[in-house]
């Protein structure tokens, strides 16, 4: 072997060794790890615990022949707690939430609720043994909310039987969702192997897109539809979420809390704000106007969205009729946040909105 | 240098070996067969062609649609067979014509699928169907194909001579940091200087490579550089068959007998007048069409008017979103359309950043919400981040898009590119 081939071979060997020995420092992987390990997995655990507590409280409230008001209030508080944990997981509505065969999410939270069917069922309410035969629109958190607040059937009787069955069912589904995330799906996100995500870039992009889509859903479904955006401006108050518990706006706040955590990170864990591209952009733009500073824009848009939401008087069902301008202002403020996420952040981070859709040039 | 048409015909008709052209056909046909099979295997026939319920047809070509049933898949089957025949040099000209017809049909089904290299493939298929395919061919056949590749490189290079590319290193400054996690080279790619280096080198490459390949003394080095450049681009960006196709194009600049030396070819046959005229028309179109962007106001990379068919590759990083306010006839309050379940994710993504697609969808909404005699009014709230700039409105939100028919004229509804330091878009 001559000198030149030997040098080339050595250089190639060194390069291969260098590649093999290098540990990935992908900021996207670190941020995804934060989202999964510090938010999604603990969040699903918290929801499963809260759903179990709701089932216990409901069973306790229905243990006596005639439940006391305090027991019902305790069950309602437990529902609020479970609902809060659940809405905090809105952005993670992927994988076992909506993918077959699990598809657990719609059984926990399906809209629109079919109140008339639930009322019809109260004549012969389901039990824990046969609630699986009940359609998604008649079980889960919205149905439980109706049973706790909205139903006219007297306590305990059929209402209690339905409540106990529905809460036990939701607790079971919540636990199944927790297990699916903890034992399987979290691993797929942290170490993607092609199904359903090709690589960490795809996972990162999918979850970032979920952030933007969630804001769109909040604007379009949870505020816009009740305001009448799809009905030529005629308010549709019956379309608000969590109408019976008067929790519509808190549902939105809980969802936004997680969006904020995904951006800001968890204690000791990086979020989007720590991404090198966002940091670089911030460093470059600090000498410029605040408008071109994507970090400042996110923080400002988020803060303004929260202020606009707080400006809506509760309940939302009344606000869309009596003070629609405030609801409209919240939609606009959330639109700014959506723009920062879907346009500015995805641009800075070079994330495509649709993956695997084809080539580019 | 010929000074008359007869002299030109004689010069272009000088017989040379067809071996180089044959080699190019083999590379082209092989790549096209692989590309079509890959398109099928990736499920893109369904996601891009047959699944969409709404299409963005090219104006005047609305009749070009996916074939019914298994027809589109069959079309790809024909395309693959034709490409393989081209590669094998079996009935190469008819095969190239059939391949080109099938490929172009597919390409024209939906505007949102447009890619520059798809357009190049169609052009090359036409040329390969037109130029002789024998053992001896007129040298003009090589010149025409070389010209086609040179047009791509030169217009791509000219398009890079702008502030974004040269002074802001955009969009590479946005794209390259996403490779920061690559071992060894990642930190280098993420460094700002890399974006500037790639930008300037890319412009220099595009503007000089056809000449370096054409000049015998620099040809070898130019080929090595071209292979390195296109492989690097291929590794960094999802551009499918474009890079190998351009590398295959480089071989056309070699001596015609580079694959196989043969005996000298002495007999000269001038090419026909019609062929010269057709070639002249082709060349004129190829030179003029990319320049049509000069007829439109505003920066073409922002307005995208005259952007397609102009070899403006790798120039634009855009993210955007759009929603529509639709006011049906006789109503005062608009319906807000924020989501597009009738579009595929790719279509929605393309629409959000391309004004003509926003306009086309607005016209669709105008008909859908119209009352049969009158169209609904449709206004768009569209914001785009363009080459690292903060989000800005891309469409005049007060303009009724339903009132503007689709045409080749400058679009009056496109918002101007904001000057630096202006307030961020509100939507």
pLDDT at residue number A24:
44
Q: Please say if the pLDDT value at position A11 is more than 60.
A: no
Number of residues that make up chain A: 361
- Per-residue tokens: B397: 């939100």
Report the gap between the CA of B388 and the closest CA in chain A (Å): 6
Report the gap between the CA of B66 and the closest CA in chain A (Å): 17
Complex ipTM, two decimals? 0.86
Q: Would you call A291 and B175 a contact, using CB atoms and an 8 Å cutoff? A: no
Nearest chain A residue to B316 by CA: give it.
A361
Give the ranges where A191-293 is alpha helix by DSSP (H).
200-217, 225-227, 248-264, 276-285
d(CA B410, CA B247): 36
d(CA B318, CA B323): 17
Number of residues that make up chain B: 427
Task: Find out whether A274 and A33 touch, Cβ atoms under 8 Å.
Answer: no
d(CA B205, CA B215): 15
Partner residue facing A291 (CB), from B238, B349, B424: B424
Q: Which residues pair with B382 in a beta bridge?
A: B322
pLDDT at residue number A102:
78
A361 to chain B: which residues are within 8 Å by CB?
Answer: 115-117, 239-240, 242, 313-314
Q: Which of residues 206-245 of B touch A (CB under 8 A)?
A: 237-242
H/E segment holding residue B146:
helix B139-159
CA torsion sign, B276 to B279 to B283 to B288? positive
> B317: closest CA among A296, A353, A278?
A353
> A60: closest CA among A50, A72, A49, A51?
A72
Q: Would you call A353 and B319 a contact, using CB atoms and an 8 Å cutoff? A: yes
Distances (CA, A) of A297 to A265, A279, A340, B400: 17, 13, 7, 30
Asked if B68 reaches chain A (Cβ–Cβ under 8 Å), the answer is no
Q: Which residues pair with B395 in a beta bridge?
A: B414
Q: Would you call B344 and A339 a contact, using CB atoms and an 8 Å cutoff? A: no
Q: Would you call A361 and B242 a contact, using CB atoms and an 8 Å cutoff? A: yes
Q: Would you call B423 and A332 a contact, using CB atoms and an 8 Å cutoff? A: no
Q: Would you call B346 and A24 a contact, using CB atoms and an 8 Å cutoff? A: no
Report the gap between the CA of B256 and the closest CA in chain A (Å): 30
Nearest chain B residue to A352 by CA: give it.
B319
Task: Using CA atoms of A209, A210, A215, A218 in order, give the dihedral in degrees to the nearest 10.
Answer: 150
**A56: three-class secondary structure by DSSP:** helix
Q: Would you call B117 and A361 a contact, using CB atoms and an 8 Å cutoff? A: yes
DSSP B343: S
For chain B of 427 residues, list the mean pLDDT of each consecutive stretch of 10. 79 92 98 97 95 95 95 98 98 98 97 95 98 93 98 98 94 88 86 94 98 97 97 90 96 94 72 93 98 96 96 94 96 94 93 97 97 95 91 96 94 89 56
- Per-residue tokens: B94: 């008819």
Nearest chain B residue to A21 by CA: give it.
B183
Comparing B21 with A124, which gets the higher pLDDT? B21
d(CA B427, CA B416): 17
**B137: three-class secondary structure by DSSP:** strand
Q: How confident is the model at residue A285 (pLDDT cuts 50, 70, 90)?
A: low
Q: How confident is the model at residue A129 (pLDDT cuts 50, 70, 90)?
A: confident
Asked if B134 reaches chain A (Cβ–Cβ under 8 Å), the answer is no
**What region, left, alpha or beta, does residue B354 occupy, with left being phi > 0 and alpha being psi -120 to 50 degrees?**
beta
Report the gap between the CA of A233 and the closest CA in chain B (Å): 6
Q: Would you call B319 and A346 a contact, using CB atoms and an 8 Å cutoff? A: yes
DSSP A132: G
Q: Would you call A28 and B175 a contact, using CB atoms and an 8 Å cutoff? A: no
Question: In this structure, are strands B335-337 and B377-386 parallel, antiparallel, or unpaired?
Answer: unpaired
Partner residue facing B314 (CB), from A351, A356, A361: A361
Q: Please say if the pLDDT value at position A279 is more than 90.
A: no
Give the ranges where B256-392 is alpha helix by DSSP (H).
273-288, 300-303, 345-353, 355-368
Q: Would you call A201 and B346 a contact, using CB atoms and an 8 Å cutoff? A: no
Helix axis angle, B242-250 to B216-236, nearest 10°: 170
Asked if B186 reaches chain A (Cβ–Cβ under 8 Å), the answer is yes
What tens digit of pLDDT does each residue of A134-182 get?
888 999 999 999 999 987 777 778 889 999 999 999 999 999 999 999 9
Q: How confident is the model at residue A26 (pLDDT cuts 50, 70, 90)?
A: confident
Report the gap between the CA of B421 and the closest CA in chain A (Å): 6
**B326: three-class secondary structure by DSSP:** strand
**A111: three-class secondary structure by DSSP:** coil
Asked if B325 reaches chain A (Cβ–Cβ under 8 Å), the answer is no
Q: How confident is the model at residue A263 (pLDDT cuts 50, 70, 90)?
A: very high
Phi, psi of A236, deg, nearest 5: -125, 70
CA torsion sign, A29 to A30 to A34 to A37? positive
pLDDT at residue number A7:
42
Q: Would you call A358 and B174 a contact, using CB atoms and an 8 Å cutoff? A: no
What tens digit of pLDDT does each residue of A221-257 get?
999 999 999 998 899 999 999 999 999 999 999 999 9
Nearest chain A residue to B352 by CA: give it.
A343
Distances (CA, A) of B8 to A234, B5, B15, B140, B325: 74, 5, 14, 10, 60
H/E segment holding residue A5:
helix A3-21
Tell me the CATH class for A27-190: mainly alpha
Q: How confident is the model at residue A128 (pLDDT cuts 50, 70, 90)?
A: confident
d(CA B213, CA B216): 7
Helix axis angle, B71-88 to B92-107, nearest 10°: 150
Q: Would you call A22 and B390 a contact, using CB atoms and an 8 Å cutoff? A: no
pLDDT at residue number B239:
87
pLDDT at residue number A14:
43
Distances (CA, A) of B121 to B71, B167, B346: 22, 32, 22
Q: How confident is the model at residue A273 (pLDDT cuts 50, 70, 90)?
A: very high
Report the gap between the CA of B345 and the closest CA in chain A (Å): 6
Q: Please say if the pLDDT value at position A10 is more than 60.
A: no
Task: Find out whether A332 and A325 touch, Cβ atoms under 8 Å.
Answer: no
- Which of A303-307, A319-323, A351-355, B144-148 is least confident? A351-355
d(CA B212, CA B200): 17
The percentage of residues in chain A with a pLDDT greater than 70, rounded to a whole number, is 86
Q: Would you call A230 and B335 a contact, using CB atoms and an 8 Å cutoff? A: yes
**A282: three-class secondary structure by DSSP:** helix
> A208: closest CA among A53, A42, A27?
A27
Residue from B156, B182, B183, B422 whose CB has the most chain A CBs within 10 Å, to mutate: B183
pLDDT at residue number B422:
55
> How many CB contacts within 8 angstroms connect chain A with chain B?
151
> B142: closest CA among B24, B241, B262?
B24
């Amino acid at each position: 072997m001559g000198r030149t081939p030997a040098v080339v071979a050595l250089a190639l060997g060194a390069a291969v060794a260098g590649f093999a020995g290098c540990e990935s420092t992908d900021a996207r992987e670190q941020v995804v790890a934060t989202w999964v390990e510090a938010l999604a997995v603990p969040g699903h655990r918290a929801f499963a615990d809260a759903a179990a507590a709701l089932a216990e409280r409901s069973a306790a409230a229905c243990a006596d022949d005639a439940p006391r008001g305090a027991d019902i209030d305790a069950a309602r508080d437990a529902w609020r707690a479970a609902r809060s944990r659940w809405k905090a997981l809105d952005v993670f509505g992927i994988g076992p939430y909506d993918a077959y065969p699990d598809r657990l999410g719609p059984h926990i939270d399906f809209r629109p609720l079919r109140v008339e069917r639930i009322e019809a069922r109260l004549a012969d309410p389901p039990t824990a043994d046969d609630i699986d035969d009940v359609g998604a629109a008649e079980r889960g958190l919205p149905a439980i909310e109706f049973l706790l607040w909205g139903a006219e059937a007297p306590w305990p009787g059929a209402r209690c039987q339905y409540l106990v069955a529905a809460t036990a069912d939701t607790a079971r589904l919540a636990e199944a969702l927790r297990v699916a995330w903890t034992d399987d799906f979290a691993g797929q996100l942290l170490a993607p192997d092609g199904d359903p995500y090709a690589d960490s870039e795809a996972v990162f992009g999918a979850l970032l897109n979920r952030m933007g889509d969630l804001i769109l859903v909040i604007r379009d479904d949870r505020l816009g539809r009740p305001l009448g955006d799809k009905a030529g401006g005629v308010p549709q108050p019956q379309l608000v979420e969590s109408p019976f518990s008067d929790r519509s706006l808190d549902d939105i706040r809980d969802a936004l809390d997680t969006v904020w955590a995904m951006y800001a990170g968890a204690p000791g864990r990086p979020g989007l704000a720590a991404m090198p591209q966002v940091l670089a952009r911030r460093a470059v733009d600090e000498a410029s106007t605040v408008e071109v500073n994507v970090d400042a824009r996110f923080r400002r848009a988020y803060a303004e969205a929260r202020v606009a939401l707080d400006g809506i008087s509760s309940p939302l069902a009344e606000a869309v009729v009596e003070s629609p301008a405030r609801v409209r202002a919240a939609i606009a403020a959330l639109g700014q946040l959506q723009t920062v996420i879907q346009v500015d952040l995805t641009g800075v981070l070079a994330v495509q909105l649709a993956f695997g859709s084809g080539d580019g040039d | 240098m010929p000074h008359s048409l007869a002299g030109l015909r004689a010069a272009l008709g000088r017989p040379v070996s067809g071996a180089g052209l044959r080699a190019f056909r083999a590379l082209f046909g092989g790549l096209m067969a692989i590309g079509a099979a890959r398109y099928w295997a990736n499920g893109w026939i369904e996601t891009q062609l047959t699944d969409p319920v709404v299409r963005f047809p090219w104006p005047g070509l609305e009749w070009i649609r996916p074939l019914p049933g298994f027809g589109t898949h069959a079309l790809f089957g024909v395309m693959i067979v034709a490409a393989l025949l081209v590669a094998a040099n079996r009935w190469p000209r008819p095969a190239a014509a059939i391949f080109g017809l099938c490929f172009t049909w597919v390409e024209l089904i939906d505007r949102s699928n447009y890619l520059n290299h798809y357009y190049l493939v169609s052009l090359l298929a036409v040329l390969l169907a037109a130029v002789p395919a024998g053992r001896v061919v007129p040298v003009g056949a090589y010149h025409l194909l070389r010209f086609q590749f040179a047009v791509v490189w030169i217009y791509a290079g000219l398009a890079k001579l702008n502030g974004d590319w040269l002074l802001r290193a955009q969009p590479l400054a946005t794209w390259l940091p996403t490779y920061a996690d690559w071992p060894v080279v990642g930190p280098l790619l993420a460094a700002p200087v890399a974006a500037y280096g790639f930008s300037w080198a890319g412009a220099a490459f595009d503007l000089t490579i056809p000449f370096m390949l054409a000049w015998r003394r620099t040809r070898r080095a130019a080929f090595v550089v071209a292979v390195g450049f296109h492989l690097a681009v291929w590794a960094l960006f999802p551009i499918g068959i474009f890079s190998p196709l351009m590398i295959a194009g480089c071989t056309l600049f070699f001596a015609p007998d580079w694959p196989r030396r043969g005996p000298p070819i002495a007999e000269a046959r001038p090419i026909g007048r019609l062929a010269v005229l057709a070639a002249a028309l082709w060349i004129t179109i190829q030179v003029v069409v990319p320049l049509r962007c000069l007829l439109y106001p505003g920066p073409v990379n922002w307005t995208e008017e005259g952007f397609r068919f102009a070899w403006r590759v790798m120039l634009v990083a855009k993210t955007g979103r759009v929603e529509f306010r639709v006011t049906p006839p006789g109503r005062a309050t608009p319906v807000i359309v924020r989501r597009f379940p009738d579009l595929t994710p790719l279509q929605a993504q393309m629409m959000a950043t391309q004004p003509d697609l926003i306009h086309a969808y607005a016209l669709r909404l105008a008909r859908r919400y119209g009352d049969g005699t009158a169209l609904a009014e449709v206004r768009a709230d569209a914001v785009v981040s363009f080459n690292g700039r903060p989000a800005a409105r891309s469409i005049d939100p007060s303009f009724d898009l339903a009132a503007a028919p689709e045409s080749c004229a400058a679009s009056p509804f496109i918002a101007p590119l904001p000057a630096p330091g202006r307030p961020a878009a509100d939507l």
